[in-house]
């Protein structure tokens, strides 16, 4: 969601902060702003729209400093506008605040500030409340004022604070929203995410919940909510910053689609030994543990939830344990039946998804064993889990997830294989067969990606559509949900997916002459059923794009367009069938002139409810 960058040091704060904000553009935003300490005052500039708009109003040479904070906003309270953009200040503009998250009791605080202290608010945001609270509580000690303000606040937040009274420090706080601090030479940083800092620092402090960070030019100190200093080990970042560049592709999304063979190879190689057996290093799960699990919950949001649906197929088939998949925002509020005989699997690319994190904490509170599947090392979900399975997808910058999804699928297959073999519910022959199929996926995907021109040609026929239906059965239905999500995310076409057997229970009423239906039929045992469903929509005038395995004559005879995937075992087909859907969504969005990497209203890391 919102992005935060702060800098204090002997360099040029303006340029460093703007550069960091650009590295956080993938989080999604509608405005940006910066606050710098200049000539004894806090100077603020902010603009609606892209960061280029902000850069246009901070061209003056004297607008620079040793100290500053910056922000990219994804609107929650108040529409996108210059006024609602961050940073926000108090009445006399001696305090400036940037904020990621939501202050749940901001209405109550706003009324109290207006009534008791005569505060006049300039914006519609919850964030402005924080600035006024700190200003009111300030009595010569900025850190104390921040602590006192935080005591009044309810919700999830990461905040960065500067004051003209104390231009030698930045104060930051984290509660349920991501925050890191970067340790430099003669300078220090805060940020919402590590990529914002990689050009300047590799030594990172991962800030935990309810911690306050105080940055000066030469030091970073971390304190807990009792105001006692916390000594934290430095996290050394080993990522290649260059991997976050486009490498000649028009968009990050297209680059990341083409990176999937390598990402899958990386994820597999980390978890398969020389004999091709699954090894879950660092995951302490014994035969007795697995036998004790009476149920598995897979909980996630969006694309990660769709990966969980495939995970359900894999675990139930290979490990013979009942699985329930739930949307994190629903799980956390419905008092689910979870106990110490439950394995809770959280899936999150960023590891900072607020609803998933809250669901994880609820499951832990009830005694569940927590295994997380995440892409970001050191993220909140990873740190709060009993065991972590990293996806090794590498940095994913485009808002619409692609390689994170396919590597999440690989993780779910490997978890299912490990559990099934350890438990004894999976015979050696099937175990080895699935591993061989998984190992063959990267090379098959490389071949599939050569069909991009063919998919682009189909996109030219479809990009003017305003509604599209996706259908499938079994794992194909789960992939259909992800294909539909990709299309609506980046092209803004009204699309939705339905299990093909459900067509007759309402959805078929919407099928008329010219309706586009994308039909997935990669499951051999369900293929005849899918042909029947295709015939049903064709009889009502639908135009059908079929996704099937190579050599499938039945689909060729029925579909108006067809994309084939390499032959493979049904169980691993989702790893390939989703890729044409990703490419189709990309090329349709490109033809429609959409902002593919930064679709409207969306954010990469959803850190609010």
pLDDT at 242 over 60: no
- Tell me the CATH number for domain 250-449: 3.40.50.10490
606 phi and psi angles, rounded to 5 deg: -90, 100
Banded model confidence at residue 566, pLDDT cuts 50, 70, 90: very high
- What are residue 149's phi and psi, to 5 degrees? -65, -45
CB 303 within 8 A of CB 328: no
Tell me how far apart the alpha carbons of residues 215 and 171 are, in angstroms, rounded to a whole number. 6
β-strand partners of 145: none
Question: What does the pLDDT read at residue 29?
Answer: 67
Residue in 171, 535, 178 with CA at minimum distance from that of residue 348: 178
Catalytic sites, residue numbers: 2, 604
The answer regarding whether domain 3-238 maps to CATH 3.60.20.10 reads yes
Are 336 and 297 in contact by the 8 Å Cβ rule? The answer is yes
Phi-psi region of 572 (alpha: psi -120 to 50; beta: other; left: phi over 0): alpha
Domain ranges for the chain: 3-238, 250-449, 452-591
The pLDDT score that the predictor gives to residue 604 is 56
Omega prior to 87 cis, within 30 of 0: yes
pLDDT at 244 over 60: no
323-327 and 369-374 beta bridge pairing: unpaired
Q: Is 3 helix (H, G, I), strand (E, B) or coil?
A: strand
Retrieve residue 591's tokens. Answer: 């033809």
pLDDT digits over 400-456, tens only? 999 999 999 999 999 999 999 999 999 999 999 999 999 999 999 999 999 999 999
C-alpha to C-alpha distance for 355 and 368, rounded to whole angstroms: 17
pLDDT in the model for residue 77? 65
Tell me the three-class secondary structure of 143-164, residue by residue: HHHHHHHHHHCCEEEEEEEEEC
- For the cut 90, the answer to whether the pLDDT of residue 578 exceeds it is yes
Distance CA 47, CA 424 (A): 60
Confidence band for 155, pLDDT divided at 50, 70 and 90: confident
CB 424 within 8 A of CB 553: no
Q: What DSSP string describes 486-509? A: HHHHHH--EEEEEEGGGGGGTGGG
pLDDT the model gives residue 134: 97
Tell me the two tokens of residue 206: 């991962």
Mean pLDDT confidence for 81-96: 90
Distance CA 158, CA 135 (A): 18
> Do residues 26 and 397 make contact, with C-beta atoms less than 8 angstroms apart?
yes
- Quick one: tokens of 472? 């499938």
Please determine, for residue 375, whether its predicted confidence score (pLDDT) is greater than 70: yes
- Tokens representing 209 are 């919940």
pLDDT at 79 over 80: no
The single residue listed with the structure tokens 């995970």 is: 311
Is 63:14 a contact under the CB 8 Å cutoff? Answer: yes
In terms of phi and psi (left: phi > 0; alpha: psi -120 to 50; beta: otherwise), the region of 69 is beta
Do 379 and 350 contact (CB within 8 A), yes or no? yes
Q: With a cut of 90, say whether residue 516 has pLDDT above it.
A: yes
- Between CA 303 and CA 574 the distance in angstroms is 13
Asked if residue 590 lies in contact with residue 600, where contact means CB atoms within 8 angstroms, the answer is: no
**CB within 8 A of 558, min separation 6: which ones?**
531, 534, 535, 538, 544, 546
Report the topology of domain 452-591.
Rossmann fold (3.40.50)
Q: What is the mean pLDDT of the chain?
A: 91
Average pLDDT over residues 379-403: 88
Write out pLDDT tens, residues 527-543: 889 999 999 999 999 99
- The edge-to-edge listing of strands for the beta sheet with 3-9 is 41-48, 31-38, 67-73, 3-9, 187-191, 180-183, 203-206, 235-236
Exposed (0-12), middle (13-18) or buried (19+): which is 429, by Cβ within 10 Å?
Answer: exposed
Q: What is the CA radius of gyration of the chain?
A: 25
Q: How does pLDDT run across 303-340, given as a tens digit for each residue?
A: 999 999 999 999 999 999 999 999 999 998 888 899 99
96 within 8 A of 51, measured Cβ to Cβ: no
> Same topology for domains 250-449 and 452-591, yes or no?
yes
Q: Give dist(CA 111, CA 97) in Å, integer.
A: 20
The terminus-to-terminus CA distance of the chain in angstroms comes to: 11
The residue count for the chain: 609
Percent of the chain scoring above 90 in pLDDT = 70
Model-level pTM?
0.74
């Amino acid at each position: 969601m919102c992005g935060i960058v702060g800098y204090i040091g002997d360099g040029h704060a303006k340029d460093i902060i703007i550069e960091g904000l650009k590295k956080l553009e993938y989080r999604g935003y509608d405005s940006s702003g910066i606050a710098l300490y200049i000539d004894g005052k806090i100077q603020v500039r902010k603009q609606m729209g892209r960061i280029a708009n902000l850069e246009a109003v901070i061209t003056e040479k004297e607008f620079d400093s040793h100290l500053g904070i910056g922000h990219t906003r994804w609107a929650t309270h108040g529409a996108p506008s210059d006024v609602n953009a961050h940073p926000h200040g108090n009445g006399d503009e001696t305090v400036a605040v940037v904020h990621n998250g939501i202050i749940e009791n901001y209405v109550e605080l706003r009324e109290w500030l207006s009534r008791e202290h005569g505060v006049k608010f300039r914006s519609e945001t919850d964030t402005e409340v924080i600035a006024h609270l700190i200003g009111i509580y300030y009595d010569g000690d900025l850190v104390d004022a921040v602590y006192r303000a935080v005591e009044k606040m309810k919700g999830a937040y990461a905040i960065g604070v500067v004051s003209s009274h104390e231009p030698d420090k930045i104060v930051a706080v984290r509660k349920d929203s991501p925050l890191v601090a970067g340790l430099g030479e003669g300078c220090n940083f805060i940020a919402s995410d590590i990529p914002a800092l990689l050009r300047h620092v590799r030594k990172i402090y991962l800030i935990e919940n309810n911690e306050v960070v105080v940055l000066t030019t030469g030091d970073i100190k971390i304190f807990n909510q009792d105001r006692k200093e916390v000594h934290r080990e430095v996290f050394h970042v080993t990522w290649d910053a260059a991997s976050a560049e486009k490498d000649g592709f028009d968009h990050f999304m297209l680059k990341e689609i083409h990176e999937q063979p390598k990402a899958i190879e990386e994820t597999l190689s980390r978890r398969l030994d020389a004999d091709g057996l699954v090894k879950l290093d660092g995951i302490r799960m014994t035969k007795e543990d697995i036998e004790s699990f009476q149920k598995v919950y897979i909980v996630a949001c969006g694309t990660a939830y769709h990966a969980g649906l495939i995970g359900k197929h894999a675990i139930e088939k290979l490990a013979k344990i009942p699985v329930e998949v739930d949307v994190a925002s629903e799980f956390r509020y419905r008092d689910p039946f979870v106990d110490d005989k439950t394995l809770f699997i959280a899936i999150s690319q960023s590891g900072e998804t607020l609803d998933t994190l809250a669901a994880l904490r609820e499951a832990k509170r009830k005694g569940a064993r927590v295994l997380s599947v995440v892409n970001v090392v050191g993220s909140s979900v990873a740190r709060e889990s009993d065991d972590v399975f990293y996806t090794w997808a590498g940095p994913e910058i485009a808002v619409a997830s692609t390689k994170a999804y396919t590597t999440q699928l690989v993780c779910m297959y490997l978890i299912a294989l490990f559990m099934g073999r350890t438990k004894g519910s999976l015979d050696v022959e099937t175990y080895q067969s699935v591993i061989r199929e998984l190992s063959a996926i990267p090379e098959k995907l490389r071949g599939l990606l050569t069909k991009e021109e063919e998919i682009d040609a189909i996109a030219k026929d479809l990009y003017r559509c305003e509604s599209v239906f996706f259908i499938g059965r079994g794992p194909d239905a789960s992939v259909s949900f992800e294909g539909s999500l990709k299309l609506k995310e980046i092209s803004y076409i009204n699309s939705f997916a339905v299990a093909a057997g459900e067509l007759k229970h309402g959805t078929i009423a919407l099928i008329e002459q010219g309706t586009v239906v994308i039909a997935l039929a990669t499951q051999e045992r369900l293929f005849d059923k899918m042909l029947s469903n295709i015939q049903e929509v064709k009889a009502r005038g639908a135009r059908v794009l079929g996704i099937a395995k190579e050599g499938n004559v039945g689909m060729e005879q029925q579909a108006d367009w067809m994309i084939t995937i390499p032959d493979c075992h049904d169980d691993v087909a989702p790893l390939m069938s989703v890729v044409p859907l990703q490419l189709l969504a990309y090329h349709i969005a490109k033809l429609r002139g959409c902002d593919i990497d930064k679709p409207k209203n969306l954010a990469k890391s959803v850190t609010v409810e």
